[in-house]
Structure 1
Amino acid sequence: MSGDDAAIRNLVTRLAQLADGGDLDEYVDLFTADARWEMPGANLEGRESLRAGAVERRAAGNVGPGSNTRHVITTQVVTVDGDRAFSDAYWQFWVNTASEPSVALMGIYRDRLVRTDRGWKLAQRTISYG
């Protein structure tokens, strides 16, 4: 595994961890300034929009501190092409992790990443269910 491959896998994993309860500044810093987030029912663009979406999900109790949720990244393939990279990863969204854990959703993250002067950043995430 190359250093780039490991860095990208760590970035995808860190996003999942921060979604479940980490610092939102650190979370949005993992994206490019013009990043796109596409999923059924939500299309976001730019860090401020991504932050607002995360704040909204936390306010609803869907994720974040005290929500007892976990985003789990499983089977992942990373392809690096110079300063661009692609990652496809299966994900599971677990709820009630402190009492009766169960999988509420699962699907695929299709990510496009770019190398920046501050390391790899997520430029686009397309989320599908199933």
Structure 2
Amino acid sequence: MDEIQQLVAQNEIRNLVAQYAQYTDDTRLEEWTALFVEDARMEAMGQQLEGRPALTEWITGVTSSLKLRHIMGGVTVTLDSATEAHGAADMVLLLAAEGSWVVAGAPRYVDRYVKTDVGWRFAERILEDRSAKA
């Protein structure tokens, strides 16, 4: 890959990370699920999820019981090849409580991405709980 192709790929992956947050917060669950490859793997809140059906069930449960806002930042992307990459994204997770937003956590996603016919997609997302507890 030349430098321009690398920059385009990194930008597309950063957009993927942003779409994940926005689709979750806006409960656009079909679009959210489509951000993952069919056999994607995710670890979140102590759960091991594999495949789109498991991901859809999980995100439906999360968004039906909580109103969230994901603030993503510190996104790093390393291209391993023209079709594979890995990276991480820091997040501030806000939770609606009594008409206000409160900080619910500040975890980090550790990701693996693959390029498909429809663009870059998540192959794996691991949510690391980076609690403030010492």
TM-score in terms of structure 2 length: 0.86
1:4 to 6, 9, 19: 9
Q: State whether residues 85 and 113 of structure 1, in contact with CA within 8 Å, keep that contact through their aligned partners in structure 2.
A: yes
Q: State whether residues 92 and 106 of structure 2, in contact with CA within 8 Å, keep that contact through their aligned partners in structure 1.
A: yes
Q: Deviations over 1:24-63 (max 9, x none)?
A: 111101100000001342110000100000111123x22x
Gap change, CA 1:74 and 1:98, over 3 Å in 2: farther
3-state SS in 1 of match to 2:99: coil
Q: State whether residues 39 and 127 of structure 1, in contact with CA within 8 Å, keep that contact through their aligned partners in structure 2.
A: yes
The letter for the 2-side match of 1:102 is V
Alignment of structure 1 residues 7-46 onto 2, 5 Å: 7-46=12-51
2: CA distance, partners of 1:87 / 1:97? 31
C-alpha deviation, 1:76, in angstroms: 1.4
Which residue number corresponds to residue 99 of structure 1? 99
C-alpha deviation, 1:97, in angstroms: 7.7
Structure 2, unpaired ranges of 5+: 1-5
Q: State whether residues 27 and 63 of structure 2, in contact with CA within 8 Å, keep that contact through their aligned partners in structure 1.
A: no
The letter for the 1-side match of 2:40 is A
2: CA distance, partners of 1:108 / 1:79? 16
1: CA distance, partners of 2:45 / 2:24? 18
1: CA distance, partners of 2:28 / 2:54? 16
Q: Which moved more, 1:90-99 or 1:78-87?
A: 90-99
TM-score in terms of structure 1 length: 0.88
Q: State whether residues 70 and 97 of structure 1, in contact with CA within 8 Å, keep that contact through their aligned partners in structure 2.
A: no
Q: Which moved more, 1:105-114 or 1:35-44?
A: 35-44
2: CA distance, partners of 1:16 / 1:119? 18
Structure 1, unpaired ranges of 5+: none
Q: Does 1:54 align with 2:35?
A: no
Aligned residues: 124
